């Protein structure tokens, strides 16, 4: 196969750039190139020339160049793989996978590379089962492919199969080079966090830092590992490093606020929650955390404002249960806003009918407004749930209520 000069490639690039990506114009470009370079006397030689050219060009012209190559040599596996890579980078996964399939059919070598690339494409499409199949084919062909193990680990993680994810990430670490080890240790650290193995997570995050992965994600992850192990001072230090590297990351201010709370540094916690709110005003977690501190310090006006905002934004996905309604209802009760208090406490019981303490609080509210039958019912439910002898003071209140004459409820 005859080689082609750099000058010839430049001239070819000009021809390809002049013609859109269509079969007719690709043929026209090739015809013109053949007139200029008659020594390229075989289709395969010209196809390789177009293939050699593509990496010099922007995507549109590169695709045109590769199409020219495939017009001349429809069995050119390297060109199909190259097209797959370009389309994948453009997030055109349908075209990418179409070309990967043809590269596999044409027996591109090494074949494991195509399976790995298509596996990543399936990951991007959230087709994790298909991705696992391709990564598995890749490691059967190349048992030391760290990229395939890494991709398969990600797919397993997204399927919440953390055991297989950790096993595959460990294989990726075993075969990965120095350039990728920091990233791999970081990823395995995240997986250990998922299974609550904080000691191993700490070790991996530290190894990630030692291997040059000095980024906010690693410090944040290690901060969480320290946090969940009860090492709050160390957690604050790592969260602070993460914030210095990524000061716009609202979630880390929130996490550091939680650690400050554990250290009983409420002022620092409020400052961090406030920054988290400024950075992400639609995230309810900062409002709820700050409201809880205000509530515990009897700053009811401030607490009420934050609870109101959080509940307006919606708490359904926050995993906080009925606590905000209980807290706001208690504030309303303390400030004698009885109707609002009743509404919030009833909402809290609707969310969690097994919340026995809220029955007691609601009983107290009804007692305060002299709704004695309702008070009696709530206190009786409370006593039935906690068991005999567990709350003698409430038992005495119940005995007293039974002796009262019921009046019409009022507020």
Closest CA to 156 of 176, 175, 136: 136
How many residues are present in the chain?
411
CA distance linking residue 2 with residue 117, whole number of Å: 31
For 60, the enclosing helix (H) or strand (E) is helix 59-72
CA distance linking residue 369 with residue 125, whole number of Å: 59
* Range 159-174 burial, b when 16+ CB lie within 10 A, else e: eebbeebbebbebbbe
Cβ atoms of residues 379 and 371 within 8 Å: no
Residues 6+ apart with CB under 8 A from 235: 223, 224, 226, 227, 255, 256, 259
Cβ atoms of residues 186 and 219 within 8 Å: no
Cβ atoms of residues 260 and 238 within 8 Å: no
Closest CA to 380 of 360, 366, 364: 360
For 153, what's the count of Cα atoms within 13 Å in the CB-facing half-sphere?
24
Two tokens at 345?
A: 């406490």
Q: What is the pLDDT of residue 17?
A: 55
- Residue 388 burial by Cβ neighbours in a 10 Å radius (0-12, 13-18, 19+): exposed
CA distance linking residue 139 with residue 137, whole number of Å: 6
pLDDT digits (tens, 9 = 90+) for 50-99: 888 888 889 998 999 899 899 999 999 999 999 999 999 999 999 999 99
pLDDT digits (tens, 9 = 90+) for 316-372: 878 889 999 999 999 999 999 999 999 999 999 999 999 999 999 999 999 999 999
pLDDT digits (tens, 9 = 90+) for 267-325: 999 999 999 999 999 999 999 999 999 999 999 999 999 999 999 999 887 888 999 99
pTM passes above 0.85: no
CA distance linking residue 219 with residue 246, whole number of Å: 11
Cis bond upstream, residue 235 (ω within 30): no
Phi, psi at 315, each rounded to 5°: -115, 5
What DSSP line would sit under 124-161, residue for residue?
Answer: HTT-HHHHHHHHHHHHHH-TT-HHHHHHHHHHHHHTT-
pLDDT digits (tens, 9 = 90+) for 222-266: 999 999 999 999 999 999 999 999 999 999 999 999 999 999 999
Q: What is the pLDDT of residue 181?
A: 97
Cβ atoms of residues 306 and 318 within 8 Å: no
CA distance linking residue 254 with residue 266, whole number of Å: 13
């Amino acid at each position: 196969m005859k080689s082609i000069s750099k000058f010839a490639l430049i001239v070819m690039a000009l021809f390809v750039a002049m013609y859109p990506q269509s079969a007719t114009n690709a043929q026209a470009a090739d015809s013109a190139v053949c007139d200029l370079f008659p020594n390229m006397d075989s289709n395969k030689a010209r196809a390789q020339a177009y293939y050699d050219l593509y990496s010099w060009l922007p995507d549109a012209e590169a695709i045109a160049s590769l199409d020219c190559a495939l017009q001349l040599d429809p069995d050119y596996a390297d060109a199909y793989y190259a097209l797959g890579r370009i389309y994948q980078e453009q997030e055109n996964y349908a075209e990418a996978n179409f070309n990967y399939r043809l590269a596999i059919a044409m027996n591109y070598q090494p074949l494991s590379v195509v399976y790995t690339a298509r596996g990543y494409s399936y990951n991007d499409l959230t087709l994790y089962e298909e991705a696992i199949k391709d990564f598995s084919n890749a490691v059967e062909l190349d048992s030391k492919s760290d990229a395939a193990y890494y991709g398969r680990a990600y797919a397993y993680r997204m399927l919440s199969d953390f055991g297989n994810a950790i096993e595959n990430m460990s294989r990726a670490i075993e075969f990965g080079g120095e350039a990728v080890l920091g990233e791999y240790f970081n990823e395995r650290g995240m997986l250990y966090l998922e299974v609550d193995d904080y000691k191993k997570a700490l070790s991996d995050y530290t190894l990630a830092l030692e291997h040059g992965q000095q980024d906010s994600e690693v410090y944040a992850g290690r901060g969480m590992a320290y946090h969940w192990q009860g090492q709050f001072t160390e957690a604050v230090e790592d969260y602070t490093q993460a914030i210095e590297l990524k000061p716009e990351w609202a979630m880390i201010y929130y996490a550091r606020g939680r650690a400050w709370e554990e250290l009983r540094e409420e002022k620092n916690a409020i400052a961090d929650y406030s920054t988290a709110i400024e950075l992400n005003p639609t995230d309810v977690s900062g409002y709820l955390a700050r409201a809880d501190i205000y509530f515990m310090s009897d700053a009811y006006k401030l607490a009420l404002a934050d609870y109101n905002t959080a509940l307006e934004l919606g708490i359904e996905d926050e995993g906080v249960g009925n606590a905000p309604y209980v807290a706001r209802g208690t504030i309303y009760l303390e400030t004698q806003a009885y109707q609002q208090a009743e509404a919030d406490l009833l909402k809290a019981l609707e969310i969690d009918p097994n919340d026995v303490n809220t029955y007691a609080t609601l009983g107290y509210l009804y007692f305060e407004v002299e709704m004695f039958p309702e008070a009696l019912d709530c206190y009786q439910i409370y006593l039935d749930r906690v068991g005999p002898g567990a709350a003698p003071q409430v038992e005495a209140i119940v005995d007293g209520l039974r002796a009262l004459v019921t009046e019409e409820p009022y507020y």
